[in-house]
Chains A and B, each alone.
Chain A
Amino acid sequence: MERIKSGKMINVVRSVVLVMSVLLIGTGVMNQEHTEVLQKAVKICLECIGIG
């Protein structure tokens, strides 16, 4: 815990998470996951609006 409190460690954690998130987005885009999101989002989600 003491180590994580130090500024350097925080910057490392931040940078790792930032790089990981960019890599995940890149992987998802290569897998065409954004088109799946689009397909779901352009139709009215009946569950979301309470019809089921």
Chain B
Amino acid sequence: MPGVHWNRIKQKRKISFQRKIQFISAAVFNGYGAGFVKGKIYTGGSKAVCVPLLNCYSCPGALGACPVGSLQTALGARHHFPFYVLGTMMLFGILLGRLICGLLCPFGLVQDLMHKIPVPKWSVPKKIDRPMRYLKYVVLLSTVILLPALVVTKTGITPPYFCKYICPAGTLGGGIPQMIANPALRNLAGMLFSWKVLVLLLILLLSMFIHRPFCRYLCPLGAFYALFNRFAFYQMSLNERKCTGCKKCERSCPMAVEITREINSSECIRCGKCKAVCPEGAISLGFLLKNSKPYGDYRAYGTRSRRR
């Protein structure tokens, strides 16, 4: 029947809540459309405000300041304790945790879309995956905090090492659009730009095979928010009475979180995929959940008999 067929097509094309929010967020935080045409960046007062996500302030559309870039500037160029930037990052972290990574970050959206490309998907072995996840904390501590704060250059201004050598979001959102729109900048591009494009391409390529490799292993902002994920006001909860231990949630989790063991893991990006697939409706997300536990519920299932 044509109607049934059409319904199936419509169902397949349905855009998830997460994807809608991701697109809206990318458009809102990069809402200065004229910048893309003119090759200029927005210079209004809203750029004094740090946005919660990794969004380069040199992106032609950016309406706010990147917290990671601002943190490096405060430490490396101004050499003072970054009260304002750190306070802003902590506020976002304690309110939302890594919900920002899952729903708001434009580079997360880019990685999600790359992962949609139909190629064989890789499951990273735990032996490699677990230690690699600590790499993002090393990136945060070294390139964002210690190097800008401690390295002294002749000019007295320490470069933002993460932005300069790693940040793929800056290359994609700032570097490439600026190069396209500004012939003068194009002439200045050299080895450093080639290196940054190479890093970006590698991450995009990996994203096709592994879900969100940058968020898992490299993102310093994700690492910072991960510190707050267990205690943030926005939490997840697993109802142990409803959970049957089928582990459908764990198989669907893009960040490979052991949901039945540790639902509020620092690696969880709150994308809500586990909630969507749970046949028992045992998972809930929201602010100030009554029964949420920071280290998850280790007795989520299979131990009800032990409790009795």
CB within 8 Å of A: which of B46-98? 47-50, 56-58, 62, 64-66, 69-70, 73-74, 77-78, 80, 82-88, 90-91, 93-95
Least distance between A23 CB and chain B CB atoms (Å) = 7
The binding surface of chain B is classed by DSSP as helix
Residues of B within 8 A of A28 (CB): 82-87
Cα-based distance from A13 to B47 in the complex (angstroms): 31
Q: Is B225 an interface residue (CB 8 A)?
A: no
Q: How many residue pairs, one in A and one in B, have C-beta atoms under 8 Å apart? A: 160
> Is B85 in contact with A49, judged by CB distance below 8 angstroms?
no
Cα-based distance from A45 to B159 in the complex (angstroms): 10
Q: Is B260 an interface residue (CB 8 A)?
A: no
The size of the chain B interface, using a CB distance under 8 A, is 61
> Is B65 in contact with A10, judged by CB distance below 8 angstroms?
no
Chain A interface size, as a band, is: 35 or more
CB within 8 Å of A: which of B183-212? 185, 188-190, 192-193, 195-197
Known contacts A5-B295, A49-B171, A50-B196: A41-B91 contact under CB 8 Å: no
Partner of B48, one of A14, A41, A50: A41
Known contacts A14-B231, A38-B45, A40-B70: A48-B87 contact under CB 8 Å: no
